Amino acid sequence: MGALPLQGQLENARVTGYSGLQQVSIRDGVIQTIQPMDAPPPTLAPQKIDLEGDWLSLGGIDLQINGALGLAFPDLLPTDQSKLQEICQFLWQQGVDGFLPTLVTTSVDKFQQALATLSAQKSPGDSDQAQILGVHLEGPCLNATKRGAHPQKHLQPLSIETLQAVIGPYKDSVRVMTLAPELEPSGEAVAWLRSHNIIVSLGHSLATAAEADVAFNQGATMVTHAFNAMPSLHHRQPGLLAAALVHPQVWCGFIADGQHVDPLMLKLMLKASPEQGLFLVSDALAPLGLPDGVYPWDSRQIEVTAGTARLSDGTLSGTTLSLLAGVQNLVHWNLCYVGRAIALATEAPRQALGLPGMGPGQSARCLLRWRHHPQTQTLKWQRLFPSENA
């Protein structure tokens, strides 16, 4: 699975979003065409590389990641710019093209401080760094009963006044906000967020199916970490998740670490939404990239064991597994076919954000090559254009 030149003809590739084996033409580091293998090749046939039936995709997009390399995004300071750049480089090496740094519930001052730091971070362009695509605010307008590891003392009522105080002058930097819709049924807060092009995601909520439907009709289009911090599916009280899974315009993020959701329930959800509407997130915490151990987390501590992070009272607080580890888990657990597992971390989150997916015009530097080993149900990936320092 060696590296290839910045131009060439990739042959016998399985491409996310395309049926059958494809030939992919690359020139000057950009995808030019994606065509079936029986289509006429380009007039000027470049160097040909046989991918031998391996899968080809863009890199991952992580819409919910709380930190990495020991730095929690809510703790960001203006002096952390170099550390933030290091995290962007690290995530690129983990196969991630772009991400939404997620700020969990904290004080208004810390929200403002972190938003100011992230807003000042320059885009890396085509360098070997994951791009910051905006910020995901997970809180503070959450239901206290479903707050999970979010500190109750910093929870806020859902109102336009709260949103203005938390977001301040950084409306253009916030891409997604997670909230509990039952805290403000009129929808004024949702409408305010949508008027500033901020995607509304429902989570940490006790919303009924009817309350969720109202929020979806008001403009909410996402659900944060499906199954977690919300009522379970119930045959008489279907709840928020059931309403989301049958809604054609709603995207549900989910975690595939084997701890947040049992694989059998993930299989049920994948069968319930066979076409689209789901995407993978890592929900990774600050110790991502570090060994297991005990680490600070706001004013508390978390213990990481085998990639799972918990508070001292046992409350599940997150994971330290990467986004693409979730793809590998889905395949290893035999929950869906390889192409869909890959797309759940690469194509689906792009669609949920309204970004272009795999196709002509995309940078070839973002391409990942995936090799599936059916005997062991393992899946390995590599960047086709690894950096010199990789």
Write the pLDDT tens digit of every residue in 204-245: 999 999 999 999 999 999 999 999 999 989 999 999 999 999
Mean pLDDT of the chain: 92
Q: How far apart are CA 56 and CA 201, in angstroms?
A: 30
pLDDT at 99 over 50: yes
Equal CATH topology for 8-57+358-383 and 60-353: no
Q: What is the token pair recorded at 150?
A: 């979010």
Query: Of 14-28, 118-132, 276-290, 357-371, where does mean pLDDT reach its minimum?
Result: 118-132
Contacts with 167 (C-beta within 8 Å, 6 or more apart), sequence order:
111, 115, 137, 174
Strand order in 293-297's β-sheet?
A: 293-297, 300-305, 308-311, 316-319
The better pLDDT of the pair 17, 204 is held by 204
Tell me how far apart the alpha carbons of residues 96 and 75 are, in angstroms, rounded to a whole number.
22
Cis omega before residue 140 (within 30°)? yes
Instruction: List the domain boundaries for the chain.
Output: 8-57+358-383, 60-353
Q: Is the pLDDT of residue 316 over 90?
A: no
Give the mean pLDDT of 87-95. 96
For residue 17, the model assigns a pLDDT of 85
pLDDT digits (tens, 9 = 90+) for 22-76: 999 998 889 999 999 998 876 665 688 899 999 999 999 999 999 999 999 999 9
**More reliable by pLDDT, 142 or 43:** 142
Residues 6+ apart with CB under 8 A from 126: 29, 363, 365
Query: CATH classification of 60-353, choosing from 3.40.50.720, 2.40.50.140, 3.20.20.140, 1.10.580.10?
Result: 3.20.20.140
How confident is the model at residue 4, as a pLDDT? 45
Q: According to the model, what pLDDT value does residue 311 have?
A: 85
**pLDDT per position as a tens digit, 152-188:** 999 999 999 999 999 999 999 999 999 999 999 999 9
Q: Which pLDDT score is estimated for 3?
A: 46
Q: Which of these is catalytic: 213, 257, 283, 298?
A: 283
**In three state form, how does the secondary structure of the chain look?**
CCCCCCCEEEEEEEECCCCCEEEEEEECCEEEEEEECCCCCCCCCCCEEECCCCEEECCEEEEEECEECCEEHHHCCHHHHHHHHHHHHHHHHCCEEEEEEEEECCCHHHHHHHHHHHHHCCCCCCCCCCEECCEEEECCCCCHHHCCCCCHHHCCCCCHHHHHHHHCCCCCCEEEEEECHHHCCCCHHHHHHHHCCCEEEECCCCCCHHHHHHHHHHCCCEECCCCCCCCCCCCCCCHHHHHHHCCCCCEEEEECCCCCCCHHHHHHHHHHCCCCCEEEECCECCCCCCCCEEEEECCEEEEEECCEEEECCCCEEEECCCHHHHHHHHHHCCCCCHHHHHHHHHCHHHHHHCCCCCCCCCEHHHCEEEEEECCCCEEEEEECCCCCCC
Question: What is the structure's pLDDT at 125?
Answer: 60
Active-site residue, 283 included: yes
pLDDT in tens, 258-311: 989 999 999 999 998 877 899 999 999 999 999 988 988 777 888 888 888 888
User: CATH classification of 8-57+358-383 is 3.20.20.70, yes or no?
Assistant: no
